[in-house]
Structure 1
């Protein structure tokens, strides 16, 4: 393309056209090599180059300043690369923080704004012609303080980007066969450098915005055979808490860490884990001002030199500048190399300047070890690094003063400390810092009602402030000293929970009366929210997601296990796993403890009440229960159909789950294998029909405990053959006879008082005996299972067993479906082998079905989007429906208005998913991949 010449502000001569970025211009030359995976879409480099060219054209002619509200999507990546390819200058910012975008728009008046709006990906032109003089060396603008929203940005050149990409690729030995998952935001210099370094060598990217604590993240990781994982210290904390050490990811080759100091013990622990599992850990050090990374500690040195950040990347050098005449063994670390920035910018006029920085004064105090490796010993500047974000403490202070909170801020290592003069302003200060700077409430320590100490010169005594806040933090009864963990009373804990919800759920409207469910919490956010809530409340009560904060902090809960190798697990999860294993043990003759299937039937009623019959509308509740039945029938019908065709064991009645209605009740045969599935589906459909009746729906809401008891009463009429004929010797497989057992589980979920639990407990004790007169052990199993479910909400087990139980429980339907085909072929060899193989095949089918559901949802979304066409949706950035791209467009039309198709969530029913039962009242969505649709105009506006 032809780039308009730029007039230098320093002289009247015309400066040359801007340089290019090699890893962008070489995209097409890599041809058919794979460039990007999204879970549903795989793009070659040639296909990516086509999209990048279209994106470059959509941004207009002339060199334009493009504010990119970035996320980890294909749209965002393509628009970013398109800007570089077209000679434009992208200014990256987090797409979910409107206040930060406001500041950048005010300071730089960008020509184009691009981001995700309600109608899909949007590219909005704010000026007909380029409005800025952009220096020809200028390639990229990145905020200095991560996502804090400071208008001060780093000016990076084309050489900066290319040189650092090559240096990192060489230092990490990145191969063309590597696949890096986007575990960090693209607007963050570390996350962006992962993109640059992999594209520079022809490697590929796995795009996702999922958290490392989300099982769907790891399913995508394994499915795409990703090799590289990047993380900041907070990422490693989440990895440890989510059981990363107990999982095996065969394709993982490299784990990298930067974004702040990681505790040396944690470094050594992960290095040892990597050595055991076959992957390398690289510890790195960098700053935005050096494009990304300046130093790398090689894997072979990580365990022995865990406190070091390593040696400079290829092409870079370090020196230590003494702090004064006295040699104290350390000084300020200064870096030189081709990746050092051009300089800073604070307003649009600065974008015409050339290089005014030739070496980087890092602001870090450091020393060289005997082996020449760099050791960071402290900070010299007024920046802090918290949860991977570089925080400008002066900007935080300015924001607090502007908000009416005269304050002074210091770096407390893993938190920002704030001393404010206003009494009682602690909560407001924390909320302001969290909202404007993206810092978790847990990483803000506030002491209010106290003036800052002063030096003789009248300046704030920041060391004194730090000492005061450090003493205040240590005096509070907490393990970490953070706000989340230090609430002294119920009121403080309510404030901490509300602040946590506002942060993690991006819900500034959260109050003491809005629960996790009210705020739109789902299974994707559940894991991290529950982990963080445990820091506030020590342990969580059953159904915590339904409690508003003011009730949650006083709700009774079991104590946290005292040993780290123990885990507290919901009893329903353990019971589900044990029940299906008992079924397998009986069928493989490993033991004879019957009753597992009937216990599962009661658990189905239990989970129905907890997660389907919530405060949603009548129509939504009825549809939700019906969908649950469908999600049981679909994988069952698919499996039974295949076996019917291949082996001829079953027929169409089994496929439709109608054997109970149309089958032969005179004798037991293989056609009765799936009586349990038929019973659950029939009972769910019956419940859906009941909930669709307005009067019944009102009764259930008005009398949530009495209603299932009434169903138990009706069920006892069929159990004792009062209203229907006796079903004969196989009545234990008949859905209408088992209504009482299903309703007992429902009632157990609704029992909230001791009296109610005693009443529900009496039901199995009095009604189960005699139902199977020839099998008293079956009756004992069911009674014990129900009593444990009623009285023991959680159990403490070894963490390894807890995770295993969750997997088996999640796959219980699929294990039940497949085991009839698996175990008979292995019984002669070993009952243990037959049982183990049955579990393995069932888990495999479960995972396969999740992929099928995900693909189906993606296809359905694509069809829906095509039917809907490309109608224009309201243009607003994600995170604020009231303020979005239109807000900064100056009334110009959006230039790309095609809506992004979003896949529907499809999942196996909550009856067979303990993850759902521990999180959301609606079924937990499967790991659904979203198809990305990029529609770019062919010509720029005139």
Structure 2
């Protein structure tokens, strides 16, 4: 592969940016794709032109609070096409907006409107009060910081040159489609937009995280071909099983925003080679618009520590640095900024720099590839010794500790991510570095604080040494509080670590742990969205903060709104055991639970990629089967009611035709059969793709197949229980229903198929129909506040109460049935509590099996 870097022909500086002004040239090609709509270049051009007309022909300073939405894209392009300089600020950082408004006094402020391409404009003044240099096009915060008064001044030529260079080496063409994984206010995220629009390609706008299964559903549904990643993204990709994902349209992955470890570069380069996509490792700074170098994918596996070659049109040199073996990397090219702006007076300045002194220490290898080996500003001098902070982080990484370091010439501060013992590491590190122990402080934090770009927030790390808690960043938690979301998830799911991008589902949560977790979270946060189980910790906290800001003063509540499926499970188990014990007679609720099982399967077991979710599905089946087998085995030993077939959950297949005690566990048996068959079916790649493509239609198809047994067109010869596949599948469809039309269709199926299901037992059929309609149409049901916790516990323990009651109440038959019901409920809850503790105990007893054994430091 050639390592030459041809110079691109560039247009002279103009007052507009070509890729923003010439959108209509690509006519009906797709430009922007959202979760529900596709906008052509012609559509985009019309919106941009309309907004540009509103901004007017006279240049004004525009501040855009940007989000990953069509509104922000239209506003950004309209300002560029009309020649208005834009200050780009993260739309989710009000403090950054306020800070930059105060410093630079923009003439126009724009933020997202309704999300349909018509952003909200607030005119401060009709004619600018600033002197704006003709070349000035864009102002960005430096190095991923937000709200800093020091902005990078970029010209129209900077933007076009860098977009053209990126499009050239990535070979972006009209068929390419990238998904947004980074904020558009961050230069890396913005460069993805610029380079794709310049090439006539398209962009999928989303703010979903890569840990969210919905992100990958969107990726496949839109036939995306690329996404951008920072080093932290790869940590998240590891967590969601990216290596096992089926992404047939993926063409390349780009990486920038910091150094990726050579091991990960090599591994992902080899993975891409095996899967048919390429990894582009890139190097850049905001001061160079975005990109300065890239590593050709064919060279990545063999040269994982290199940044590669300059981008087309750029060049490097290395200037010596006194006292250091390696010199400073200096970049020259048409994408080098005009200079910095720290006050509004700087907006009148033209070019004040011609080359970019990167501040990075680098070397050039004989093969022409460059390597960055350190950062001049990442050196401190403690007790006369020069300390390379990057090297300190690497030493700790070699010990298996993820850390980030900051410091001054008096003090080195280290943040240790996770549950590490600072004292022990301190004893190891201080002598190794040769510095006084008093000059080193180490802190164990839940998660290394990061900027919006994903880079470590070194100022927040440095502030850890400040004794005043208010000096620390909100994201830095030295000790968990009792109502912290991460603590709740860690305790409820028995997992050792939870970070801001974790979700209930990604941590292995299922229907058995959902109930108690949801109530604790609701108590801690005050509100929970319906899809909280697939939202990240950071999103849940943000939702709670917004709700708290709007909420009126709370009065004492006599009723609590509890999720309908939770109430149904609690009520159903009481009705089931009360009917069996003879307290009263009310049948039909067991089949409501079968529909609820399908509902919960779809919510918790269909997230993530093939192997990742298969693992979760098998774990969930085991959490049903193992406690059931253990309890039935006990019943087999102490009574003469059960057979060996019961122990292996085979009675429904090989047991007697007549109703006997051996049929006590039919619900667990049939549910297990359904889960095993569905999981085996979804393990087939074509079926899994079909389910992802038609998430609502797929379970409806299964329900249709199940109705063949419901109407005896197919006879499964499973006695004493009506066929259950169609109910399970219908519950599954409820979880995937996104529109009123979906819910109406499910309602129609229920109204048509439930009558006659129990051979004319009207009360039983009405119970099932009522339960199904509540599941479809009523998200939450009122429960007396005093009974809320009891409802939660009974719903959580419903399976275990069902299992245990067969062994409890026969010993209490001489007493009132109410005693048998109460005793069964208590025994079932105790068995549930025991079973829920087993995974955590197992992990603590066998750390080698779970990968959490800590290496001793010698």
TM-score, normalisation: structure 1: 0.52
Deviation of 1:31 after TM superposition, in Å, equals: 0.6
Name 1:172's counterpart in structure 2: 170
Name 2:475's counterpart in structure 1: 503
Q: In structure 2, what is the Cα distance between the partners aligned to 1:908 and 1:469?
A: 61
Aligned counterpart for 2:302 among listed residues 288, 304, 329: 304
Report matched runs for 1:240-319 at 5 Å.
Answer: 240-319=238-317
Name 2:738's counterpart in structure 1: 853
Judge conservation of contact 1:417–1:444 (CA < 8 Å) in 2: no
Deviation of 1:149 after TM superposition, in Å, equals: 2.3
Judge conservation of contact 2:417–2:446 (CA < 8 Å) in 1: no
Name 2:365's counterpart in structure 1: 369
Aligned counterpart for 1:30 among listed residues 26, 30, 48: 26
CA shift in 2, pair 1:481/1:97, >3 Å? closer
CA shift in 2, pair 1:374/1:850, >3 Å? farther
Judge conservation of contact 1:40–1:855 (CA < 8 Å) in 2: no
Alignment: residue pair count: 599
Deviation of 1:199 after TM superposition, in Å, equals: 0.5
Aligned counterpart for 1:75 among listed residues 49, 56, 71: 71
CA shift in 2, pair 1:96/1:558, >3 Å? closer
Name 2:353's counterpart in structure 1: 357
Could you list the per-position Cα deviations for residues 195-220 of structure 1 after superposition, in whole angstroms to 9, with x for gaps in the alignment?
01101110000000111111111111
Aligned counterpart for 1:52 among listed residues 48, 51, 70: 48
1:107 paired with 2:76, answer no
Judge conservation of contact 1:179–1:203 (CA < 8 Å) in 2: yes
Deviation of 1:60 after TM superposition, in Å, equals: 3.5
CA shift in 2, pair 1:372/1:569, >3 Å? closer
CA shift in 2, pair 1:251/1:76, >3 Å? same
Deviation of 1:380 after TM superposition, in Å, equals: 1.3
Aligned counterpart for 2:60 among listed residues 27, 43, 64: 64
CA shift in 2, pair 1:137/1:612, >3 Å? same
Q: In structure 2, what is the Cα distance between the partners aligned to 1:153 and 1:100?
A: 12
1:340 paired with 2:336, answer yes
CA shift in 2, pair 1:377/1:43, >3 Å? same
Deviation of 1:93 after TM superposition, in Å, equals: 1.2
TM-score, normalisation: structure 2: 0.57
Gaps of 5+ in 2: 1-11, 381-386, 394-402, 424-431, 451-455, 457-463, 499-503, 534-556, 600-626, 643-650, 673-682, 715-723, 744-775, 782-791, 797-858
1:213 paired with 2:211, answer yes
Judge conservation of contact 2:700–2:733 (CA < 8 Å) in 1: no
Could you list the per-position Cα deviations for residues 817-864 of structure 1 after superposition, in whole angstroms to 9, with x for gaps in the alignment?
25537999xx99xxxxxxxxx99xx99x99998776169799xxxxxx
CA shift in 2, pair 1:712/1:91, >3 Å? closer
| SS at 1:296 equivalent | strand
1:541 paired with 2:491, answer yes
Q: In structure 1, what is the Cα distance between the partners aligned to 2:20 and 2:419?
A: 38
Judge conservation of contact 2:270–2:301 (CA < 8 Å) in 1: yes
Gaps of 5+ in 1: 1-15, 385-407, 431-439, 448-462, 485-491, 517-528, 544-556, 562-566, 577-602, 629-693, 743-756, 788-799, 829-837, 859-905, 912-916, 922-942
Deviation of 1:719 after TM superposition, in Å, equals: 2.6
Report matched runs for 1:554-703 at 5 Å.
Answer: 557=494, 573=510, 611=518
Q: In structure 2, what is the Cα distance between the partners aligned to 1:783 and 1:855?
A: 32
Name 1:719's counterpart in structure 2: 580
Judge conservation of contact 2:179–2:226 (CA < 8 Å) in 1: yes
Could you list the per-position Cα deviations for residues 668-724 of structure 1 after superposition, in whole angstroms to 9, with x for gaps in the alignment?
xxxxxxxxxxxxxxxxxxxxxxxxxx98x58999xx99x999986654442356644
Deviation of 1:58 after TM superposition, in Å, equals: 2.4
Could you list the per-position Cα deviations for residues 916-937 of structure 1 after superposition, in whole angstroms to 9, with x for gaps in the alignment?
x9xxx9xxxxxxxxxxxxxxxx
Deviation of 1:246 after TM superposition, in Å, equals: 1.5
Q: Which range moved further: 109-118 or 21-30? A: 109-118
CA shift in 2, pair 1:736/1:261, >3 Å? closer
Aligned alpha-carbon RMSD (Å): 6.2
Q: In structure 1, what is the Cα distance between the partners aligned to 2:379 and 2:705?
A: 59
Judge conservation of contact 2:256–2:281 (CA < 8 Å) in 1: yes
Deviation of 1:115 after TM superposition, in Å, equals: 1.5
Q: In structure 2, what is the Cα distance between the partners aligned to 1:35 and 1:355?
A: 33
CA shift in 2, pair 1:569/1:190, >3 Å? closer
Deviation of 1:97 after TM superposition, in Å, equals: 1.6
CA shift in 2, pair 1:570/1:808, >3 Å? farther
Judge conservation of contact 1:156–1:291 (CA < 8 Å) in 2: yes
Deviation of 1:55 after TM superposition, in Å, equals: 1.7
Judge conservation of contact 1:232–1:258 (CA < 8 Å) in 2: yes
CA shift in 2, pair 1:610/1:110, >3 Å? closer
Greater length-normalized contact order (CA 8 Å, ≥ 6 residues apart): 1
Aligned counterpart for 2:706 among listed residues 820, 823, 826: 820
CA shift in 2, pair 1:24/1:466, >3 Å? farther
CA shift in 2, pair 1:540/1:347, >3 Å? same
CA shift in 2, pair 1:481/1:314, >3 Å? closer
Could you list the per-position Cα deviations for residues 628-664 of structure 1 after superposition, in whole angstroms to 9, with x for gaps in the alignment?
9xxxxxxxxxxxxxxxxxxxxxxxxxxxxxxxxxxxx
CA shift in 2, pair 1:780/1:371, >3 Å? same
| SS at 2:87 equivalent | strand
Name 1:512's counterpart in structure 2: 481
